[in-house]
Structure 1
Amino acid sequence: MEHTSNPDLRTAADTVLARLVGDASGEAKLREDQWRAIEALVAERRRALVVQRTGWGKSAVYFVATALLRDRGAGPTVIVSPLLALMRNQVEAAARAGIRARTINSSNTEEWDTVQDEIAAGEVDVLLVSPERLNNPDFRDQVLPKLSAATGLLVVDEAHCISDWGHDFRPDYRRLRTMLTDLPPGVPVLATTATANARVTADVAEQLGTGGTSDALVLRGPLDRESLSLGVLRLPDAAHRMAWLADHLDRLPGSGIIYTLTVAAAEEVTAFLRQRGHTVASYTGKTENADRQQAEDDLLANRVKALVATSALGMGFDKPDLGFVVHLGSPSSPIAYYQQVGRAGRGVEHAEVLLLPGKEDEAIWQYFASLAFPSEELVRRTLDILGRAERPLSLPALEPLVELRRSRLETMLKVLDVDGAVKRVKGGWIATGQPWTYDAERYDWVARQREAEQQSMRDYAATTECRMEFLQRQLDDEGAKPCGQCDNCAGARFTADTSADSLDAARDDLGRAGVEVEPRRMWPTGLPAIGVDLKGRIPAKEQAAPGRALGRLSDIGWGNRLRPMLAAQAPDGPVPDDVAKAVVTVLADWAKGPGGWAQGAAEAQPRPVGVVTVASSTRPQLIHSLGTRIAEIGRLPLLGTVEYAGEAPGGSRSNSAQRLKALDGALTVPDALATSLAGLDGPVFLVDDCTETGWTLAVAARLLRRAGAQGVLPLVLAVQG
């Protein structure tokens, strides 16, 4: 369509912008591309895709367009937005421009009816919904059709999530294709993202056209960020990286974000930096919603120097004066990295961006890569189970029947839903009976893309060329050029120096051994459906007591020591001396702590009277030698081993019910061990190399308790996760 000039509309748009940004002088003016997008939406009623760098002002486009469309009698704008944090910011921003915004999401279901009544009464200008709502049966069948019919503008925020070529594909977003198809003719659509390469841009533009030739206007701007000074610091180990942060955090401008790759690392770093006198808070997927809100508010108000966060602090967090982003560990994708560092320097002239890669990064990448789309066999089995079911199956009902953890199972079902093979209805999921093809070529291609992205991050850390130009090229930015201010262009601004005091403190902190292992207290639901006659609470007299592990495999302390030792390809052998000495420390701390057995321990328990090991087909030497060392140290008898009746069950990455099915009847207490237990007056240690689901320890403990053990204290080298 030909570009048209609308001077009156332009003046009205600039007036709304001034209100939005709080410019009483009225001098605020839209950028040319912002105006072009608004004109396309308001005057031409087109579909537009805006790919612009973080901080460019994409939200101004849809708020200004909303105000103009509402003035012309259009219905409310619907914004599909991925995070509640973004929704809160957007509602506040809209209010500044006199735009009445409401949200429908999982945290305010009690307000849904009221919000719908307000929409019907014309009292809502903007409705923000999370993508997950699009496939909620009540919302999809009752709310969405009315919403589609009344919508004046549909906005798809963070639109790269639509594309499975994007770094953050979300199946719920694919439901937008249905909504796009159902929109009345002439309803404009705006998709926005800061992180889309050429392939993702083309894919999203095509989907805006719902499969036909897209007439979408694509506005793609340069992705350089003049305020960011990128750098990479290679430090010898995790202790040096922690010490560097403690020594240099106050030198970083303003307040910022320290990203880690795992929840465990975020919690470790937060605790250490607090010990060193820094005001920081942790922000992860395990952080309670209220605590997340408080952490966000504290960072926005500069009450903390930094949030130590996983990618849970993701899209939509908006703090224009964020002064730095530090990554303790490298993300696996340069596109995801660009998005995260783009949170800094939006409203300030200079912000520091530093990557501190670690040797554990690769193992963490591999772990997350293992959670990709399931095999065709597992998918077909799921479809078959749903097809034979007489009623809809909920996730808890379906989970025991499929060898997938709930989160992976749910993601798989959402993909199948988009593909038309299953449907979510009240009460759970049903098979549609529609033909479905396992797109192995596409899944393999995505896996290869992930590998290529990982290599790009290795290349980013190693390059001697401009780092910003490198990231821009990864995003297919034709305007990529040297930035003149990264460490390669302008020289490093930070040395790798750490003080002896901080380094000693970091080594002590990371070297501190001991993680509590919570026992299983309830059998998973659905076991009778798969032939395992267990349900409800595990009787107290059959439970293990709280146990201990040397560390988590995801730790940046002991995890880095244990991970290679417990890797699938690692050779078996006796427990190394340094590991055995650390186990002694764990035992000593355990004995003296609450619930320990040392004299003076709070709520002291009976002293352990023996050691039992768990049989292993992969690491028999390691576990036997560990059990022997513990027996020698504690001057306890090594009583024997909980054996497998046949071949040991395979890997444990299925869900709890499937793991228990594999273990049902597989473990046994030999007669000699049972005889030894019967004559003992006190609990026994149960020694294994690693625990992931906790069910091997739970089943072994149950057998030992039934055989006469007065208590079972699990002791393992590592917790997976």
Structure 2
Amino acid sequence: MDDVELRTEADAILAELVGAPQGAARLREDQWQAVAALVRERRRALVVQRTGWGKSAVYFVATALLRRRGAGPTVIVSPLLALMRNQVESAARAGIRARTINSANPEEWDAIHEEVERGETDVLLVSPERLNSVDFRDQTLPKLAATTGLLVVDEAHCISDWGHDFRPDYRRLRAMLAELSPGVPVLATTATANARVTADVAEQLGTGAGEALVLRGPLERESLRLGVVRLPDAAHRLAWLAEHLDELPGSGIVYALTVAAAEEATAYLRQRGFPVAPYTGRTENADRLQAEEDLLANRVKALVATSALGMGFDKPDLGFVVHLGSPSSPIAYYQQVGRAGRGVDHADVLLLPGKEDEAIWRYFADTAFPPEAQVRQTLAALADAGRPLSAPALEALVDLRRTRLETMLKVLDVDGAVKRVKGGWIATGEPWVYDAERYAWVARQRAAEQQAMRDYVSTDGCRMEFLRRQLDDEGAAPCGRCDNCAGPWADPSVSAEALTGATRELDRPGVDVEPRRMWPTGMPALGVDLKGRIPAKEQCSAGRALGRLSDIGWGNRLRPLLADGAPDGPVPDDALRAAVAVLADWARSPGGWASDGPDAVPRPVGVVAVPSLSRPRLVESLAQGIAAVGRLPYLGTVTYTGASDPHRAHRSNSAQRLRTLSDAFAVPEELAADLARAPGPVLLVDDYSESGWTLAVVARLLRRAGAEQVLPLVLAVAG
């Protein structure tokens, strides 16, 4: 078949894909170049094109052409369920049978595997996390590699640790690339890769298969109008959103930096009568599905989302993207705003930066690859164990938090130093080199991205040109549309009424403090005789906090108060008043001591404080103030034993933290006597709860000393 016939067939498939009459749809020349490279030349190609360029059309058309020529199914590695759902529906329009394997449909996996083996599936979409599953890696992946007709790596910048969104699960693709049969084409796609990431991904694609073809186009989106609106504080930003949301075209996305901020914004906008829905890491899968469908059908004005709604969500007529706070990377920012304006002539993109943004960047910044000593300690622990160790078991031996530990293990797995097996991880004994220079460069790159985001906010040059230059996009030039090119177009005004409502919403204190119910795995190995479920008679009860450090209401007030190095002093009056209000609401809630329900607890018999080495005046004044207002006896504090330094527990994982805290406190005799004379619930006051282990340890001591319940009240919680 010559090029003309192949092109005619490809265009006919495209028409089916987009639901157009035959002859009414035609691949653009750059799309056709990618399809021809895959189908005719069976090459490996990297396509770097702006969001909405039509990358999915390339691999669906190529799939249909290859399947008609006897090739095996296409395997698409795709990072988000939203993308998978969109793509399965798109494929069906062209008669392409697509199935997906991900964490949301385990009950379907066996049936899907059988369909693939019978040749009934044209496209198999796989989440990158599946690549690191032991069963999938050892049983399914080799079969796929042997039968795949086309491998597609979507959001391919995730492969590279130079990229803004490196995901170690993607590194498993190296093994699959090496195991593919000769002549199997590979397509990698991304909309956000600068020159260095492009070169890194192309090198990995071409390993053992010749040089990869790189097809890179201009990344400008002519439909986007970029702007920045600077407002004094979070209340003004929320009020601005409520005041101007209806002025933004169509429906869109409001991005927040944290789950707490997204939930706060959602609650306020709903109070103001806006049809909006949250979309965060805490949103249940069924609710995410409903939210996506509501946005696609324009039943909501906006989804209020974190980065959980990022790569892959496809709504061509999305009319706006607003950010409540600056992301830490201009490349990640451009990827998110690229959700808008794909199929419309005009879309508005606004950034509302906040003073707290950088504090939030720091809060979530603990993701760098660990120092060599901790990596070697992990390898030694696995080698010495003589059996597989789970991540929780490793936590008892290595002072790394769970997320960081698991990320490190995945990298070591791909590097060949460890292997994931049934029951956990083992060391392979293979030599491994710590690439300190590379890890340091990546850390510097993250710092440079943060500075670039500051520069984006403050620049008086073209904003689109600025973002394109961050992506090394050749030919970047002034857009003529943004607020710096064409003049400010977003009205920054906020009415007094809207500001009052937003301030009231953000001033409302009170979040739940969930207690610990289980001791961490592996404590006996650390010489601490605690394991399994915490006995009910020794547990801490559910408690309350003024706010989360990650929210934009009380979090903004509490972060400076609780920051490392902040001066100690009496609790601020507004914080004490808020704590009293939280306490009053708690007392009246179902199960509270001022409620009438059958589960109501007795009124607390007194207030006890957790001692603080860094903020003793803050904690004690808070406890004494609550006792005075609540007309409760102040019973004093538990004491430090001096056996260990509780500060060492800061930012440790659960096992290491508990080891440090397990013998750090004692109940003084006078306090124990008070509890024995008047048994009942006690309020336990502290400044901050990051993991809940301090509260759990102190509550256990107090309950053993006679407290019938321990009700924690803290200024702030993490998360």
Superposed pair shares fold, TM > 0.5: yes
Separation in structure 2 between the aligned mates of residue 77 and residue 681 of structure 1, nearest angstrom: 68
Tell me by how many angstroms 1:397 deviates.
2.7
Work out whether residues 205 and 214 of structure 1, in 8 Å CA contact, stay in contact via their aligned partners in 2.
no
The answer as to whether partners of 1:255 and 1:324 remain within 8 angstroms in 2 is yes
1:384 aligns to 2:380 (yes or no)? yes
Whether 2:221 is the aligned partner of 1:225: answer yes
Q: Is the aligned partner of 1:502 residue 2:488?
A: no
Are the equivalent residues in 1 in contact too, given 2:391–2:402 (CA < 8 A)?
A: yes
Given that residues 589 and 595 in structure 2 are in contact (C-alpha distance below 8 angstroms), is that contact kept between their aligned partners in structure 1?
A: no
2:693 equivalent among 695, 709, 718: 695
CA contact (8 A) 1:261 1:329 kept: yes
Q: Name the count of aligned residue pairs.
A: 717
Deviation at 1:498, TM superposition (A): 1.3
**Residue 167 of structure 1: CA displacement?**
0.7
Matched letter for residue 260 of structure 2: A
Q: Which amino acid counterpart does residue 113 of structure 2 have in structure 1?
A: Q
- Residue by residue over 1:141-160, the C-alpha shift from the partner in whole angstroms, topping out at 9 and shown as x without a partner, is 22111211111111111100
User: What amino acid does structure 2 have at the position aligned with 1:404?
Assistant: L
Q: Do residues 667 (structure 1) and 665 (structure 2) align?
A: yes
Aligned residue runs from structure 1 range 628-643, under 5 A: 628-643=624-639
Q: Does 1:20 align with 2:22?
A: no
The Cα shift of 1:587 comes to: 2.1
Match of 1:98 in 2: 95
Paired letter, 2:66: L
Distance in 1 of aligned mates of 2:597 and 2:355: 39
Mapping 1:272-421, distance limit 5 Å: 272-421=268-417
Residue aligned with 2:27, SS? coil
Per-residue deviation, 1:418: 0.9
The residue that corresponds to 1:685 in the other structure is 683
CA-to-aligned-CA distance 1:107-145 (integer Å, 9 cap, x gap)? 333333332332232222111111122222221122111
Q: Are the equivalent residues in 1 in contact too, given 2:392–2:520 (CA < 8 A)?
A: no
Q: 1:110 to 1:579 in 2, by over 3 A?
A: closer
Aligned-partner Cα distance in 2 for 1:130–1:688: 42
Give 1:175 shift.
1.1
Q: How does 1:557-568 map to 2 (within 5 A)?
A: 557-568=553-564
Residue of structure 2 equivalent to 1:447: 443
Which deviations, in whole Å up to 9, do the C-alpha atoms of 1:39-83 show, x marking residues without a partner?
111111111110000000001111111111112111111111111
Query: Of 26, 29, 42, which aligns to 1:29?
Result: 26
Q: Which amino acid aligns with 2:90?
A: A
Let me know the Cα RMSD of the aligned residues.
1.6
Q: 2:141 matched to 1:141?
A: no
- Name the counterpart of 1:657: 655
Secondary structure of residue in 2 paired with 1:385: helix
Distance 2:558 2:304 in 1: 24
User: 1:62 is matched with which residue?
Assistant: 59
**Which of 624, 629, 645 is the equivalent residue of 1:648?**
645
Of the three residues 431, 451, 457, the one matched with 1:461 is 457
Q: Aligned partners of 1:146 and 1:714: how far apart in 2? A: 54
Contact 1:617 1:648 in 2 (8 A): no
What SS does the aligned partner of 2:583 have? helix
Larger mean CA deviation between 577-586 and 440-449 belongs to 577-586
2:649 touches 2:656 (CA, 8 Å); kept in 1? no
Partner of 1:159: 156
**Are 2:648 and 1:627 equivalent residues in the alignment?**
no
Partner SS state of residue 715, structure 2: strand
Cα distance in structure 2, aligned partners of 1:440 and 1:294: 45
Q: Quick check: 1:231–1:486 contact (8 Å CA) kept in 2?
A: yes
Distance 1:277 1:298 in 2: 16
**Amino acid corresponding to residue 475 of structure 1 in structure 2:** L
Residue 580 of structure 1 corresponds to 576
Give the drift of 1:398.
2.5
CA distance in 1, matches of 2:78, 2:676: 61
In structure 2, the partner of 1:491 is 487
* 1:266 maps to amino acid: A
| Structure-2 separation of matches of 1:630 and 1:57 | 60
8 Å Cα contact 1:323-1:350 kept in structure 2: yes
User: Closer, same or farther in 2 for the Cα pair 1:214/1:327, shift >3 Å?
Assistant: farther
Question: 2 CA distance for matches of 1:529 and 1:297?
Answer: 49
Q: 1:299·1:306 contact (CA, 8 Å) conserved in 2?
A: yes
**Cα offsets for 1:275-328 (capped at 9, x unmatched):** 110011111111111111111111111111111000001111100011111000
| Partner Cα separation in structure 2 for residue 651 and residue 705 of structure 1 | 23
The separation in 2 between residues aligned to 1:111 and 1:581, in whole angstroms, is 53
Structure 1 CA distance for aligned equivalents of residues 450 and 67 of structure 2: 46
Q: Residue 257 of structure 1 aligns with which residue?
A: 253
Deviations 1:425-473 (A, max 9, x none): 1221110001112222111111110110001111101111110010000
For 1:290 and 1:508, locate their aligned partners in 2 and report how far apart those are by CA, in whole Å. Answer: 31
8 Å CA contact retained: 1:228, 1:345: yes
Match of 2:469 in 1: 473
Q: What secondary structure, in the 3-state scheme, does the structure 2 residue paired with 1:190 have?
A: strand
Listed as ranges, the gaps of 5+ residues in structure 2 are: none
Residue identity in the other structure for 1:254: G
Match of 1:520 in 2: 516
- Taking structure 1 as reference, are residues 718 and 151 closer, same or farther at Cα in structure 2, changes over 3 Å only? same
Report the secondary structure of 1:326's partner residue: strand
Q: Is the 8 A contact 2:464 2:482 kept in 1?
A: yes
Q: SS of the residue aligned with 2:32?
A: helix
CA 1:122–1:653 in 2, change beyond 3 Å: closer, same or farther?
A: same
TM-score by length of structure 1 reads: 0.97
1:608 equivalenced with 2:607 (yes/no)? no
- Residues 1:204 and 2:231 aligned together: no
Distance 1:588 1:128 in 2: 51
Q: Which 4+ stretches in 1 moved above 4 angstroms?
A: 599-603
Say whether residues 1:192 and 2:192 are aligned partners.
no
Query: What are the Cα deviations for residues 657-678 of structure 1, in whole angstroms up to 9, with x where unaligned?
Result: 2211111111111112212222
Q: For residue 606 of structure 2, what is the amino acid of its counterpart?
A: G
1:511 corresponds to: 507
**Does the 8 A contact of 1:206 with 1:213 survive in 2?**
no
Shift of 1:213: 8.9
Three-state SS of the structure 1 residue aligned to 2:335 is helix
SS in 2 for 1:401: coil
**Structure 1, unaligned stretches of length 5 or more?**
none
CA distance in 2, matches of 1:500, 1:44: 65
CA contact (8 A) 2:12 2:22 kept: no
TM-score normalised according to structure 2 size: 0.97
- The Cα shift of 1:632 comes to 2.0
Contact 1:467–1:486 (CA<8 Å) still a contact in 2? yes
Deviations 1:552-605 (A, max 9, x none): 111100100010110002111111222222222222222222232337578433
* SS of residue paired to 1:110: helix
Deviation of residue 700 (structure 1)? 0.5
What amino acid is aligned across from residue 292 of structure 2 in structure 1? E
Structure 2 distance, partners of 1:138, 1:584, is: 53
Partner of 1:589: 585
Cα contact 1:591–1:601 (8 A) shared by 2: no
Partner of 1:585, secondary structure, is helix
Q: Deviations over 1:155-209 (max 9, x none)?
A: 1111001100111111111111111111111111111000000000000110011
Which letter does structure 2 place at the counterpart of 1:208? L
2:545 counterpart SS class: strand
What one-letter code is carried by the residue in structure 2 that aligns with 1:130?
S
| Contact kept in structure 2, 1:253 and 1:351, CA below 8 Å | yes
